Amino acid sequence: MTISVRFAPSPTGRLHIGNIRTAVLNWLFARRNGGSFMLRLDDTDRSRSTEAFAEAIRADLKWLGLVWDREARQSDRLARYEAAATVLKQAGRLYPCFESEDELDRRRARQRARGLPPIYDRAALKLTPDEIAQRIAAGEKPHWRLFLTNTDPSRGLAPLPTLVTWQDVVRGEQTVDIGSLSDPVLIRADGTPLYTFTSVVDDLDFAITHIIRGEDHVTNSAVQIQLFGALGAEAPTFAHHSLLIGADGQALSKRLGDLSVESLRAEGLEPLAVLCHAALLGTSEAVAPYASLDELAARVDLAKLSRAPGRFDIAELRALNARLLHMLPLDAVADHLAGLGFAISTEFWEAVRGNIATLGEVRAWLEVVNGPLAPRIEDANLCATAAGLLPPEPWNAETWGAWTAAVRDATGIKGRALFHPLRLALTAREAGPELRALLPLIGRTRVEARLKGQTA
């Protein structure tokens, strides 16, 4: 079997950290198993879906490196959904209902008052074909519900089990009593097909083998398993991953705007750090940086995902981003640096990468190396002596040790009393990269000028 998965966002907003978790788990599963990854835009919500959001989703996925093998959008497949609906109607599994929302609300209220579950009472099943035809002829537009279980033998349907059970890759055996659910609306009165329906038709047509999504879809999966069966097909394998919560234990829903791909990118976070964090939260693997998506794919096993919510902390993501940069070679970040307008040498990158948390911080160290920089003179006599003892160029990593040893011998000053004034004069900062690496990059002319208190 060729593995095939899909990521199916609705183009009604920007991707956020919760979406990223689902997207990367699908992508990594496909990569790990030599399968394909599909982008499907669930855009049947005409009032909210926009092409601008669709394009933003594509751009976000490309930035993350989650390249897809094929793409489809539901708005191009309306005729296919209509054909599938006809099959269900002819089989007696899709039936018309004429109740308004107000009428349904009143019924639910009465059911609650009687201590009954507020599910649809299937009153529409009592309508005869003539009554249905008359109401449609009179201009009433029905919505259409999927008949989940057979409690009305007069309709000639084969008995269906009330319990739907499946083996979930993440959660193990799952059982949902669909007898406690309302028959779901699959088609609105205006003819718009809904997600529960269109998703199944698409998964069937595109031969999706594994549906990997959040645990908030567990009940929905039970309904869709019945729908697959009604269309004469076996359901794909399901894997319902845990959702993310904030560091405070609360849902992230109110903060998703701040945790969009757009905002994470604007903060200067690396896509690989974002993906590592999203994929590894709530797994038996430690949340750690990996140098490539292939390395990450080798570590993420859906069967090892915890059922407990993943605790997302933006501070931990920032720390992970720093750890990632500290281990990456220049060629892994060169394109991103070029996009920021930075062209640097391998020597510069290796000197400063351990002291940055985002690539944007490279700018500050370029200013230290290239100037102009106003030095901070803490010990003018020491700096003047050090300037007079500067060796001729060329300089290398050994120059710093030899030079400071000469200054120590000449002044008798050593330890922090020696190194701190020199760092302040050369970088105007209390801390930073090793000066043995920075010194050759700054160069003798700037070093001498700064030791003399001159901006250089």
Compute mean pLDDT per 10 residues along the chain, 456 residues long, and list them.
Answer: 95 93 98 97 90 96 97 97 97 94 91 89 93 95 89 49 90 93 96 96 98 96 94 96 88 71 94 96 92 95 91 95 97 93 96 97 97 96 98 97 97 97 97 97 98 97
What pLDDT is stored for residue 150 in this prediction?
A: 53
What pLDDT is stored for residue 253 in this prediction?
A: 64
Write down the domain spans for the chain. Answer: 4-67+195-244, 246-329, 334-451
Model pTM score: 0.91
> What's the Cα-to-Cα distance from 261 to each of 49, 246, 301, 365, rounded to whole Å?
18, 17, 24, 27
What pLDDT is stored for residue 160 in this prediction?
A: 56
What pLDDT is stored for residue 254 in this prediction?
A: 53
Pick 246-329's CATH classification: 3.30.465.10, 3.30.2130.10, 1.10.1160.10, 3.40.1280.10: 1.10.1160.10
**Superfamily name with CATH number, domain 4-67+195-244:** HUPs (3.40.50.620)
